[in-house]
Amino acid sequence: MNFHDIFFTLARYFTHTITLKSHYNMKKVLFMLTAMVLMSAASQAQKFCYVDMELILSKIPAYTDAQRDLDKISQGFQKEIETKRKAVDDMFKQYQSEQVLMTDQIKQQKMKEIEAAEKEVKDLQKKKFGPDGELFQKRKELIKPIQDKVYDEIQKYAQAKGYDIIFDKSSGPSMLYASDKLNKSDDILFNMGVQKK
């Protein structure tokens, strides 16, 4: 009988006991179950390492090319939006300088035109840079296949080397310390056929 069988047998017993005993015993039993779960987790040491996705991706030529293409596309979109925004600003300046000569009806009409032009700029910005905008879709088209290749390679590496967990060092401040001997980024790059520079 292994540890898991013993654990689940005891858990069933304690669960049955909880229904029969008082509230005080229930707290005691829950504490014992929690302690058993923690001991179970501690008794099974997990093998882990980390990789640096930023480093890996920066060494893949297709990724750097795709990133450069995305930057160009983004700059083009930004220029288009700035041109339209300047046109709206010019419309408003013209309105301010001529409003003393306008009737109320013409003022209202000009303000509606300016508001419509502002909305058009906001809609264009959302269309280009929004969560499902053109830039996001292009990024998905260019970058995601490369990232998927890297993730597949990491998964193959983990299975081949027996790692239970592989952390990404570049994904945030959750890694306070990491020994270089646990960094397997170079192994992933080598397996993908990418040479270190």
Tell me the per-residue pLDDT of 56-71, one tens digit each, with 9 for 90 and over. 999 999 999 999 999 9
Which is more confident, 81 or 50?
A: 81
3-state secondary structure 9-49: HHHHHHHHHHHHCCHHHHHHHHHHHHHHHHHHHHHCCCCEE
Q: Which of 124, 127, 125, 150 is nearest to 66 (CA)?
A: 150
CB atoms within 10 A of CB 18: 17
Long-range contact set of residues 177-183: C-beta below 8 Å, sequence gap at least 24: 178/50, 182/48, 182/49, 182/50, 183/49, 183/50, 183/51, 183/52
Model confidence pLDDT, tens digit, residues 97-106: 998 898 999 9
Model confidence pLDDT, tens digit, residues 158-170: 888 888 888 888 7
CB atoms within 10 A of CB 69: 14
Mean pLDDT for the stretch of residues 175-183: 62
Q: What is the pLDDT of residue 176?
A: 40
Q: What is the pLDDT of residue 18?
A: 45
Query: Could you give the 3-state DSSP secondary structure of residue 165?
Result: strand
Q: Where are the domains of the chain?
A: 3-44, 51-191
Mean pLDDT for the stretch of residues 142-151: 92
pLDDT for 29 beyond 80: no
CB atoms within 10 A of CB 150: 19
Q: Is 0.75 topped by the overall pTM?
A: no
pLDDT for 141 beyond 50: yes
